[in-house]
A and B are shown apart, each in its own frame.
Chain A
């Protein structure tokens, strides 16, 4: 095949890569994007989007099941629901398919050429792509590596058979009777809660002493309480060992050193993700590393001139919106604009029940940085809208500098709170002070009022508590 020459080559069409390619195309840059699987990457195909679809289905099912058990105070009755997970997965695949073709159309409109296949570096400006119709060589002036990340496998529990990754969990045809989740991070808990709601008997095994260890206990307490309500077993300070020879049970070493056997139909291993740095001859260009990740500077430049890297392959936090922001920035840098990474916060959402939102510093972070702070916490128990939704667990908490009331962090936990993450991040990016939040009218009755009340409380004069 004839070699392709272009100005910009993007390797990987996940939320970092495809956005970078669209933006570059908009800016008139001759761009090629290479993707071995489907457009949209982990996020769209086996991550954010499908998991949220599954979580939504599980929510809907559990609400009806609760009503059927007469456990709902709403005065509604219903028959016992049933779920056909294969159909749910079909519905989910339909959403993913629509978004896949949407990305394809957007790339086309931006004038970006898509090459399907697996790319390998020959040198810093040249890759060879194994396509269905043979090898394709692409030469580019600038290269963006956006290869993403992959689930980490436990050596003692390799994926296959009963042992599944999050990708597999999103494609199950039926709800497992007994599900063991290894790893109580956000992916394991999101999926574990969803399967528990759909009727699975779920046990979570975590090596550390508590769930969601990246969050402070104040934030995770409402989630821990909800896990108990859903009868999800939580084993902390426990290590998953191996399957029994007949494959029926999982050996787990508990905190007291004993080994327990957990019966399991499926074992979902979610112990973290690693950067996808293998299989594309990264060694050929020998980029500097930052641990397992590719080292980048504040313009996403690697150690080689003309080679950029964005997204999960460059480090934590491994979040789609971080990759997207980086991809957009790099496209503009390549177009000759002056840009560099100056974001105040990369907000994050954990779609457990209830949801957790973090933006900026936690009180502990701020104190560790030696900043004198004022905090304010407002519980949803005192919020009218939360009560009418039957969702009174959780709170919003603000952290501000004591000397000038500049907001340093806004965190919250509560049902549906993910949609407030934008206002949290906006406040931090705009450099808002407590007074700015306090002087902004928040609509009644909404859960967002709790943000204003938290700010008022930090100022010493909350109204509704």
Chain B
């Protein structure tokens, strides 16, 4: 028997570290060659780490949420034979699904992660044969909740807590402990006193004092970081305008009625995308990425429209590439395909990166208006609100019209308010008179 050390492989593109987002194995598991051991997430993608050999897991090198340096020990397996220790193999990573979007030209996110270089040598120095190091470098945070109390085990509580419970007539065995190692705290007792043992207690409104700690990891952490960067760096100007989409809706209904069998059912999005392509032709500085560290605005000829999509894991932004080269039907088909891929977790890294401008739509829930956060380092985001039938004064009478608001944000460092307004007004004109979208120049 011998130890086989699996290191975090190079997951590509000059990535130096990755966040461990999921373990597929635990210590003691027997794994087959090619079985998935773990999933790690880089700035750009989620990567599965397969096992290069058969063996038994004897040690895991990180906890979910830890950032692990490429090349540091990830898993230790006990394998047959004794050849493997000298040359620890690195498993070939399998790219699976990408994270929240990230543009091609964006510099790799720079995050200070001092812990990683310090930890890697420690892990190497400690390599002992077979014996699994029990605590390693992070003993203080290993037991966030502690082992749950086994049946019949004496409840763990400080003497003062025990006394209070006794005086209140509470059997501590009934009280869940939230403290270290499942210790019952005064607060746990307060909560139990307030809530009672559940059904036995009289109905009525009860205050709840529990606080659940949820680790922000994986996609959620990427979203949090991106949002913080966007909001901290970009002075947003948000411009809201109403659009009469009555004609557009008529056109859409007609097209959906007459469409060929192989053509997709059209939503409003393809129309907005085509309108944006036309407006961008007149204002190309809105289809750009602002590298504020270099002081360069990169204006793109191709219009790559990110479509913010809600998935079970959180916000993702799949990208319709080259909208300028797609007709209405192609745009519609591509949006549908990408939305499905994002929701199923099968979208590739390329499909989730490289946008130059973004549309955010909450669909039927869209609300009256919103204040979208720009998809950094882009400079504009178009927010689509809900269509409502509203009375509109046509000069002689109120008439019912289908009205929709556009709430759009712009990077005020490089886009003036006038330009923002001009762009939205152009979109309004195009959408209110949809023929213009399809007119040859």
A residues neighboring B (CB under 8 Å): 337-340, 342, 374, 401-406, 429-431, 433, 435-436, 438-439, 459-461
Question: Of A337, A402, A431, A436, which contacts B167 at CB under 8 A?
Answer: A337
Bound Cα distance A401, B156 (Å): 13
Q: Does B158 contact A (CB under 8 A)?
A: yes
Nearest CB in chain A: distance from B424 CB, A? 57
Question: Can you give 11 contacting A-B residue pairs, CB < 8 Å?
Answer: A338-B166, A338-B167, A339-B166, A340-B166, A401-B147, A401-B181, A404-B146, A429-B159, A431-B179, A431-B183, A433-B180
**B146 — nearest CB in chain A belongs to which residue?**
A404
B:77-115 near A, CB below 8 Å = none
Bound Cα distance A337, B164 (Å): 11
**A460 — nearest CB in chain B belongs to which residue?**
B135
**B137 — nearest CB in chain A belongs to which residue?**
A461
Q: What are the residues of chain A within 8 A of B207 when measuring CB–CB?
A: none
Nearest CB in chain A: distance from B232 CB, A? 34
Q: What are the residues of chain A within 8 A of B134 when measuring CB–CB?
A: 374, 402, 460
Q: What are the residues of chain B within 8 A of A433 when measuring CB–CB?
A: 143, 146, 180-181
Question: Of A337, A338, A402, A435, which contacts B180 at CB under 8 A?
Answer: A435
A404 touches B147 (CB 8 A): yes
Known: A403-B147, A460-B133, A460-B135. A431 touches B158 (CB 8 A): yes
Q: Does B140 contact A (CB under 8 A)?
A: yes
Q: What are the residues of chain B within 8 A of A405 when measuring CB–CB?
A: 143, 181
Question: Of B135, B169, B180, B181, which contacts A459 at CB under 8 A?
Answer: B135
Q: Does B222 contact A (CB under 8 A)?
A: no
Q: Does B198 contact A (CB under 8 A)?
A: no
Q: Which of B139, B157, B169 has the most CB of A within 10 A?
A: B139
Bound Cα distance A431, B183 (Å): 7
Interface residue count on the B side (C-beta < 8 Å): 22
A-contact bits for B321-348, CB 8 A (1 contact / 0 none): 0000000000000000000000000000
Nearest CB in chain B: distance from A459 CB, A? 5
Nearest CB in chain B: distance from A377 CB, A? 16
Secondary structure of the A side of the interface?
A: loop
Bound Cα distance A131, B158 (Å): 45
Q: What are the residues of chain A within 8 A of B166 when measuring CB–CB?
A: 338-340, 342
Nearest CB in chain B: distance from A366 CB, A? 14
Known: A339-B166, A436-B180. A431 touches B139 (CB 8 A): no
A-contact bits for B128-155, CB 8 A (1 contact / 0 none): 0000011110011001001100000000
Bound Cα distance A461, B134 (Å): 11
Bound Cα distance A406, B143 (Å): 11
Secondary structure of the B side of the interface?
A: loop
B residues neighboring A (CB under 8 Å): 133-136, 139-140, 143, 146-147, 156-159, 162, 166-167, 169, 179-183
A460 touches B139 (CB 8 A): yes
Nearest CB in chain B: distance from A347 CB, A? 14
Q: What are the residues of chain B within 8 A of A435 when measuring CB–CB?
A: 139-140, 180
Q: Which of B156, B158, B169, B181 has the most CB of A within 10 A?
A: B181
A sample of 20 more A-B contacts (CB under 8 A), given A340-B166, A404-B147, is A338-B167, A338-B169, A339-B166, A342-B162, A403-B147, A404-B146, A405-B143, A406-B156, A429-B158, A430-B158, A430-B159, A431-B179, A431-B181, A433-B146, A433-B181, A435-B139, A459-B135, A459-B139, A460-B135, A460-B139
Bound Cα distance A229, B358 (Å): 86
Q: What are the residues of chain B within 8 A of A436 when measuring CB–CB?
A: 180
Nearest CB in chain B: distance from A462 CB, A? 12
Bound Cα distance A26, B9 (Å): 72
**B149 — nearest CB in chain A belongs to which residue?**
A404
Nearest CB in chain B: distance from A383 CB, A? 23
Nearest CB in chain B: distance from A40 CB, A? 26
Q: What are the residues of chain B within 8 A of A431 when measuring CB–CB?
A: 156-158, 179-181, 183
Q: What are the residues of chain A within 8 A of B133 when measuring CB–CB?
A: 460
Nearest CB in chain B: distance from A405 CB, A? 6
Bound Cα distance A226, B100 (Å): 70
Bound Cα distance A401, B169 (Å): 30
**B172 — nearest CB in chain A belongs to which residue?**
A342
Q: What are the residues of chain B within 8 A of A342 when measuring CB–CB?
A: 162, 166
Q: Which of A406, A430, A431, A436 has the most CB of B within 10 A?
A: A431
Q: What are the residues of chain A within 8 A of B180 when measuring CB–CB?
A: 404, 431, 433, 435-436
Bound Cα distance A306, B157 (Å): 30
B162 touches A404 (CB 8 A): no
Q: Which of A374, A404, A436, A459 has the most CB of B within 10 A?
A: A404
Q: What are the residues of chain A within 8 A of B181 when measuring CB–CB?
A: 401, 404-406, 431, 433
Q: What are the residues of chain A within 8 A of B157 when measuring CB–CB?
A: 431
Known: A338-B167, A433-B181, A460-B133. A404 touches B158 (CB 8 A): no
B139 touches A404 (CB 8 A): no
Bound Cα distance A338, B166 (Å): 6
Q: Which 5 A-B pairs have the closest CB atoms?
A: A404-B181, A404-B146, A404-B147, A403-B147, A431-B156
Bound Cα distance A401, B183 (Å): 14
**A436 — nearest CB in chain B belongs to which residue?**
B180
Q: Which of A340, A406, A438 has the most CB of B within 10 A?
A: A406
B143 touches A404 (CB 8 A): yes
Bound Cα distance A429, B157 (Å): 8
Q: What are the residues of chain B within 8 A of A403 when measuring CB–CB?
A: 147
Bound Cα distance A9, B143 (Å): 50
Nearest CB in chain B: distance from A95 CB, A? 31
Q: What are the residues of chain A within 8 A of B169 when measuring CB–CB?
A: 338
Q: What are the residues of chain B within 8 A of A340 when measuring CB–CB?
A: 166
**B139 — nearest CB in chain A belongs to which residue?**
A459
A404 touches B182 (CB 8 A): yes
Bound Cα distance A460, B134 (Å): 8
**A407 — nearest CB in chain B belongs to which residue?**
B181
**B185 — nearest CB in chain A belongs to which residue?**
A431
Nearest CB in chain B: distance from A448 CB, A? 21
Q: What are the residues of chain B within 8 A of A401 when measuring CB–CB?
A: 147, 181
Nearest CB in chain B: distance from A27 CB, A? 14
**A402 — nearest CB in chain B belongs to which residue?**
B134
Q: What are the residues of chain B within 8 A of A460 when measuring CB–CB?
A: 133-136, 139
Q: What are the residues of chain A within 8 A of B143 when measuring CB–CB?
A: 404-405, 433
**B180 — nearest CB in chain A belongs to which residue?**
A433
